[in-house]
Amino acid sequence: MNNKILEKLNNIGIRFVRILWCDNANIIRTKALHRATLSDYLKHGVGISAAQQAIPVMYDAPAPGSGIGPVGEVRLIPDWDTFTPLPYAPGHARVLGDMVKDNHP
């Protein structure tokens, strides 16, 4: 499966893949990965701080009283069934990320 994904990206000229998630403020956020590094993230996804879920709309810090701090990580596992090349950004594509607790060593 992984080789098929990488081959498809090469065939259609994708250089960057954006992994999307929706945070608790209902803001769509993304983490972009370059094609050259993507093979490292296919199995375990990419890590983000758990505090990303507590970032409010008004400022770039965890919301007071949220109980979420800068320590801890979650993984965004790409759901390749949602893969979509971006027509407004040649060489870029997006994929939704499944957020899972980090159990990866």
Residue 93 is part of a domain; what is its CATH number? 3.10.20.70
Name the amino acid, one letter, at 33.
Answer: L
Which range of residues forms the domain containing residue 80? 2-101
pLDDT digits (tens, 9 = 90+) for 53-100: 777 666 776 666 666 666 778 888 899 899 999 999 999 999 999 888
pLDDT digits (tens, 9 = 90+) for 43-56: 778 888 777 777 76
pTM of this structure: 0.78
Name the amino acid, one letter, at 81.
Answer: D
Q: Please count the structural domains in the chain.
A: 1
pLDDT number for residue 87? 94
Q: Is the separation of the CB atoms in 103 and 25 below 8 Å?
A: no
Terminus-to-terminus CA distance in the chain, angstroms? 23
Among 48, 49, 51, 14, which residue's Cα sits nearest to residue 34? 14
User: What does the alpha-carbon distance between residue 15 and residue 73 come to, in Å, rounded to a whole number?
Assistant: 26
